[in-house]
Structure 1
């Protein structure tokens, strides 16, 4: 198969391009020019950072865990108390997310980290935070155009390309495929969908027959997948644009008796996703590193509060996980 070695090497996609204040970190290997703090720096006694994800979802819980680990590191290095306030919208709706952001701004935190549901619709409220002197960092998404803020994430197009090329190989470069789109207005989801489509367009015998929208919901993904597979009984494979989609699709494959008949290449490494790989329900998953994103997001906010410039963009990398290397991630 052409491109096999190019696309299926896990180590090829393990990039970490991050900025650091000080100290060694278990979450990532750092190979950048570090900015170290003077031991007599004049910091605060208390910092409060607000984390606003797209929705309530397990992937974001991992981001929050990384943010909490960064808080403990800052406390150990500075002696200050660091409070992480995790405020997740109950539904993946931009109006709810903006309301949470408005409420956060009113409390005057030191910094806000947000995964935007809609770059255009979120821009004004994020600019308001900046205008009030509140530091802002974007995670799991490109920074909204025209907003001068740091962002932490990964190459979303590359991640999608690895997954879609993996599926193309599994199908022998021919067959019917479907894409689960997540939340269509979310910048990272939209990028992944476009890049899936671009890869599939390179192969004349690959046909995209359906797209589903699950809005970061496992239940919606399961229902959408079941409906699509009923409408397209000859469907050969699935790719996705976020972490909840493949879990729901996997459940639909089990319930519909389609395991082994319909291929699934997922995203991310939630325990449920890894279990699907272990069971053979999914062939593989292309996973970014949510704990690292949470960690470096809080690190970047702290740097900015200390008037230390944070990198414009921090890439925490991705991993291709198959049954062959599954033990490294469980």
Structure 2
């Protein structure tokens, strides 16, 4: 009996030592042990408009803090403009460097092929913010934008009393934006006296949003509300309403809680901010990569052979709404921000 057990143990040892069974990353080290040094590990975030303040102050800030907390190296890469092809090229370049893990902003369905190549190269790959469900990504963390759309729709109904003309602004074609639009429309479809008089693609550009908002107000002087699905859309609409002297008369709802938007909310120019928990999906997205590499929570003796991944396939990190009544705790930076290098706390000068 003892001889049989010894033979089985030897077989298992040989299996686990076989280079062909290393799984998705050659750096996999088994369950995490306290006191281990992970300084040689590098986790890379790839986004687009890499200097965009919302990304810097929330996503990148949380990712870098996570790296400091975990004792690993982190890098943040991507083009300075909204350039999907450049983001794809960046992912392709990063694949060649064999990082420990890859955290990718799911900016557009077109990046699916690059995500697949990262996975096929054996790199743990997590997508955040907007999902790319047709890709082979190991996991996704982000907001349910349908829920964001319904929250905005419910506020629009309340603000307008269930009647009036409204307009949508955002980016066309993105999975998250389309889900948000669908949520908005599903709510207002129950209110026949609310009319959507236009849907506009402002490319997430403040100047374009402001120009569109000005033209819309001229064409529809009886407009009741702007529904803006990017922070830049919201800022452009709010500034236009403010300059037109129609604060409070034309309502504005938008997304996320950047300092400039909080100021406009406090002034009453914006009535509601529907917010993502961006720090959560980047922090835990990075942790999922670490857990994949180190088998921190294995489901079997060899998850790769079993064809399973030891992290959730998709996580909804949640949504919350801010109004003038509950915004006060967001006016000051949390302690985590105060302990972070000021160089990374960049604000959009175009907003000032």
Question: Which of the five TM-score ranges fits, normalised by the shorter chain?
Answer: 0.7 to 0.9
Match of 2:348 in 1: none
Match of 1:314 in 2: 315
Q: 1:114 to 1:320 in 2, by over 3 A?
A: same
Q: Secondary structure at the match of 2:226?
A: strand
**Residue 212 of structure 1 contacts residue 225 of structure 1 at CA under 8 Å; is this kept in 2?**
no
**Residue 116 of structure 2 contacts residue 137 of structure 2 at CA under 8 Å; is this kept in 1?**
no
Match of 2:11 in 1: none
Match of 1:90 in 2: 80
Match of 1:238 in 2: 226
**Residue 119 of structure 2 contacts residue 136 of structure 2 at CA under 8 Å; is this kept in 1?**
no
Q: 1:40 to 1:73 in 2, by over 3 A?
A: closer
Q: Which runs of 5+ in 2 are unaligned?
A: 1-29, 297-309, 332-352
**Residue 65 of structure 1 contacts residue 294 of structure 1 at CA under 8 Å; is this kept in 2?**
no
- Structure 1 CA distance, aligned partners of 2:86 and 2:135? 23
User: Which 10-residue stretch deviates more, 140-149 or 240-249?
Assistant: 140-149
TM-score after normalising by structure 1: 0.81
**Residue 179 of structure 1 contacts residue 238 of structure 1 at CA under 8 Å; is this kept in 2?**
yes
Match of 2:20 in 1: none
- Structure 2 CA distance, aligned partners of 1:252 and 1:196? 22
Match of 2:263 in 1: 275
Match of 1:176 in 2: 165
How far 1:267 moved relative to its partner? 1.0
User: Which 10-residue stretch deviates more, 87-96 or 56-65?
Assistant: 87-96
Match of 1:150 in 2: 139
**Residue 141 of structure 2 contacts residue 316 of structure 2 at CA under 8 Å; is this kept in 1?**
yes
Structure 1 residue corresponding to 2:61, chosen from 38, 60, 65: 65
| 1:52 and 2:46 are equivalent in the alignment | yes
How far 1:44 moved relative to its partner? 4.2
1:214-267 C-alpha deviation (Å, 9 max, x unpaired): 222223222222222222222110112223221121112122222112101111
1:295-317 C-alpha deviation (Å, 9 max, x unpaired): 11111111112134222222222
- Structure 2 CA distance, aligned partners of 1:101 and 1:113? 10
Match of 1:166 in 2: 155
How far 1:115 moved relative to its partner? 1.9
Q: 1:230 to 1:48 in 2, by over 3 A?
A: farther
How far 1:174 moved relative to its partner? 0.3
- Structure 1 CA distance, aligned partners of 2:84 and 2:311? 27
- Structure 2 CA distance, aligned partners of 1:109 and 1:327? 41
- Structure 1 CA distance, aligned partners of 2:220 and 2:93? 45
Match of 1:132 in 2: 121
**Residue 116 of structure 1 contacts residue 141 of structure 1 at CA under 8 Å; is this kept in 2?**
yes
**Residue 169 of structure 2 contacts residue 202 of structure 2 at CA under 8 Å; is this kept in 1?**
yes
Match of 1:324 in 2: 325
**Residue 180 of structure 1 contacts residue 245 of structure 1 at CA under 8 Å; is this kept in 2?**
yes
- Structure 2 CA distance, aligned partners of 1:215 and 1:112? 26
1:165-198 C-alpha deviation (Å, 9 max, x unpaired): 10111101000000112x3222111211122122
How far 1:38 moved relative to its partner? 4.5
Q: Which runs of 5+ in 1 are unaligned?
A: 1-35, 76-81
- Ranked by relative contact order (alpha carbons within 8 Å, sequence separation 6 or more), the top structure is 1
1:10-36 C-alpha deviation (Å, 9 max, x unpaired): xxxxxxxxxxxxxxxxxxxxxxxxxx9
How far 1:41 moved relative to its partner? 8.7
How far 1:291 moved relative to its partner? 1.6
Q: Secondary structure at the match of 2:130?
A: coil
Q: Give the number of aligned pairs.
A: 287
The alignment's C-alpha RMSD in Å is 2.0
| 1:213 and 2:201 are equivalent in the alignment | yes
How far 1:54 moved relative to its partner? 4.0
